[in-house]
Amino acid sequence: MRLSIKNLIKDKPIGSEVEINGWLKSQRKNKNFSFIILNDGSTQDDVQVIADSTLGNYEDFSKIGTGGSLGIKGKVVESQGKQDFEIQATEVIVYGDVSENYPLQKKGTSMEFLREVAHFRPRTNTFGAVFRIRHALAQATHRFFDEKGYFYINTPIISAMDAEGAGELFRVSTLDAANPPMENGKVDFSKDYFGKETFLCVTGQLEAEAFACGMGGVYTFGPTFRSENSNTPRHLAEFWMIEPEVAFADLDDVASLGAEYIQYMIKYAMEKCPKELEFLNKFIDKGLLEKLNSVKDTPFKKITYTEAVDILQKSGQKFEYKVEWGADLQTEHERFLTDKHFNGPVIVTDYPKEIKAFYMKQNPDGKTVRAMDILVPGVGEIIGGSQREENYDKLVARMEELDLELDLYRWFLDLRLNGTVPHSGFGLGFERAVMYITGMSNIRDVIPFHRTPGHVEF
């Protein structure tokens, strides 16, 4: 079993014999020996190996280029250089050289270029850092909700409902696309696999509500699909969402929960991945550590949508989209609030009902709903949530206004007729959180293999 470089660095067993494996970062040779810099992806740090020219296969391994894979057996010794130790090789095993076309030979390859060779991104310092942090944030998520006594549930990926009502759905069908069964000039989905139209889920919220209204507090963490045709640096067609849903909780409760969760993730990443954050702070986003340090224990600002509109209108700032009460906040507006006005995360509550989903609790003013978005600098919206309408009549009235097919939502409505309770929840876009905490500026660079309009390589 391999010894990871991470554990080697942790234990620094000077004097002992070890075996490590990895990919060549660089190799410099002179008459007497070769200096090998090796990384195995377990940690940000590389290990330096000295391999004497007296080793039997010196000719073979000393010509291996950057990206080639090697195994090293040798002794851990104190180092003269800036590293605290190095390995004096007794054996070098060559697993594989690289071809002439190996794309990571050159330094300074751009993020755009790396997306075209996404299968090699895990070998780079930047992506190693991002994906070790992504892993830590996933662990932090489960710990955070588990510590709070919330249960992890898995909601369906195939759904018959457009739960967000935004129509950004991917169809799931086994009908012959070239020759579907027709009925009165329309495709007859009653002949489809499930006997009705089905889609990939845009959220697991409605099903999570059923579990919250029985188990108290639950959360989902799963893939989510939206066919929105938005080629932006913060939208994916396939992304991961964490959705807590809490019974006997109101909007303020889940707004606080959201802020606490984000701060928990930041602290966890700082504890588990200090080297990764240092690296990203140096090469990707110079203000990253300062930002994380200041956000991790500062209470988030909270304003209503109406106050936000007021701030934006009085800002004197020129926006591409006009700020008007009733219109959704655009990225430029969100960014003004977070990056300029508040210089930190902000929770915006009580949006106009027209721009939010049907299930949100209606305020007595008849115009707004108990919604909240958490916006953060550099990214914009990271969390969208609400208190849910638990009153059957009000919910049905809103659904009828929006022409929703009540039959599809029968079970959801049933929850309001049988032991209904106030409850609230939110969705946090996992990749948006990873962007925020790593300082990466394009969402395509924080998911292993991205799906966006026109792109489904790898």
Task: Name the residues that contact ligand ATP, by CB under 6 A.
Answer: 164, 226, 228, 235-236, 239, 241, 381-384, 427-429, 431-432
Question: In the complex with ligand ATP, which residue's Cβ is closer, 239 or 336?
Answer: 239
CB 329, min distance to ligand ATP, A: 8
Question: In the complex with ligand ATP, which residue's Cβ is closer, 398 or 432?
Answer: 432
CB 234, min distance to ligand ATP, A: 6
Question: In the complex with ligand ATP, which residue's Cβ is closer, 115 or 235?
Answer: 235
Question: In the complex with ligand ATP, which residue's Cβ is closer, 46 or 431?
Answer: 431
Give the 3-state secondary structure of residue 43.
Answer: coil
Q: How many CB atoms are located within 10 Å of the residue 293 CB?
A: 12
How many angstroms separate the CA atoms of 134 and 131, rounded?
Answer: 5
Q: How many CB atoms are located within 10 Å of the residue 251 CB?
A: 23
Which residue, among 333, 377, 338, 336, has the nearest Cα to 355 in the 3D structure?
333
Which residue, among 156, 150, 321, has the nearest Cα to 219 in the 3D structure?
150
CB 352, min distance to ligand ATP, A: 13
48 touches 37 (CB < 8 A): yes
Q: How many CB atoms are located within 10 Å of the residue 92 CB?
A: 23
203 touches 224 (CB < 8 A): yes
Question: In the complex with ligand ATP, which residue's Cβ is closer, 57 or 232?
Answer: 232
Question: In the complex with ligand ATP, which residue's Cβ is closer, 40 or 164?
Answer: 164
Amino acid at 80: Q
Question: In the complex with ligand ATP, which residue's Cβ is closer, 291 or 432?
Answer: 432
Which residue, among 266, 344, 251, 270, has the nearest Cα to 300 in the 3D structure?
344
Quick one: tokens of 202? 């845009």
91 touches 72 (CB < 8 A): yes
Question: In the complex with ligand ATP, which residue's Cβ is closer, 382 or 440?
Answer: 382
Question: In the complex with ligand ATP, which residue's Cβ is closer, 262 or 273?
Answer: 262
CB 277, min distance to ligand ATP, A: 21
Q: Give backbone dihedrals phi and psi of 291, rounded to 5 degrees, phi first.
A: -60, -50
How many angstroms separate the CA atoms of 155 and 152, rounded?
Answer: 10
CB 285, min distance to ligand ATP, A: 19
CB 430, min distance to ligand ATP, A: 8
Give the 3-state secondary structure of residue 373.
Answer: strand
CB 235, min distance to ligand ATP, A: 4
Question: Residue 314 belongs to what H/E stretch?
Answer: helix 305-314
Largest Cα–Cα distance in the chain?
A: 85
Beta strands in 40-140, from DSSP E residues, in sequence order: 47-52, 69-78, 85-96
Question: Residue 113 belongs to what H/E stretch?
Answer: helix 111-116
Beta strands in 53-126, from DSSP E residues, in sequence order: 69-78, 85-96
Question: In the complex with ligand ATP, which residue's Cβ is closer, 68 or 425?
Answer: 425
The contacts of residue 330 (CB under 8 Å, 6+ apart) are 319, 320, 321
Q: Give backbone dihedrals phi and psi of 349, rounded to 5 degrees, phi first.
A: -120, 170
DSSP state of 64: P
CB 442, min distance to ligand ATP, A: 12
108: left (phi over 0), alpha (psi -120 to 50) or beta: left
CB 385, min distance to ligand ATP, A: 7
CB 386, min distance to ligand ATP, A: 9
CB 431, min distance to ligand ATP, A: 5
How many angstroms separate the CA atoms of 340 and 334, rounded?
Answer: 10
Question: In the complex with ligand ATP, which residue's Cβ is closer, 273 or 379?
Answer: 379
C-alpha 211: how far from its chain's center? 24
CB 384, min distance to ligand ATP, A: 2
Question: In the complex with ligand ATP, which residue's Cβ is closer, 40 or 381?
Answer: 381
